[in-house]
Amino acid sequence: MLPEDLLQPDQIKLSNTASSKKRALETVAELLAAGTNTPSAETIYEKLLDRERLGSTGMNHGIALPHARIKGISKPTGAFLHLATGVDFDSLDSKPVDLVFGLLVPEQATEAHLELLAELARLFNNPQLCAQIRRATSEEQVLQLLNPPPLADAASDHS
């Protein structure tokens, strides 16, 4: 399960018109910057780009998980972008990417941060979840899908 404060509605953009990997990363950097007091979107973009140069963060099935370690933040921050049209992201399966989850972790990232990245990869490896996210029409819907309420709460809602 993702940390509750990892992603906020204002860090989610649906039907975005970015038409390249570069523009998608710029948009993700802007969304990530909105979720932190520091650093700037430009700094975040440069860090994401540096990470991409090590190897693409494009996975399979239209998913990319760009991420970076950043000085000056104390907790992980996420951003989500659903692109109106898939873009070439040098993905493992060579297919265009339309779902992009950006992640920033503190510079002194710990094992917990690696586990967070693994959890995101597991989440986005679920074809049903990805299909639901692609159909979502609001930021709140995406937030619910990525961070559903605990099962105990869900069970009590139906009684």
Which residues make beta-bridge pairs with 82?
A: 99
113 is catalytic: no
Contact 14, 158 (CB under 8 A): no
Q: Pick the catalytic residue: 61, 67, 82, 113?
A: 67
How far from 149 is each of 31, 56, 81, 145, 157, CA to CA, in Å? 24, 32, 22, 9, 11
Packed helices 41-54 and 21-34: angle between N→C axes, nearest 10 degrees: 130
- Indicate which residues carry an active-site annotation: 67
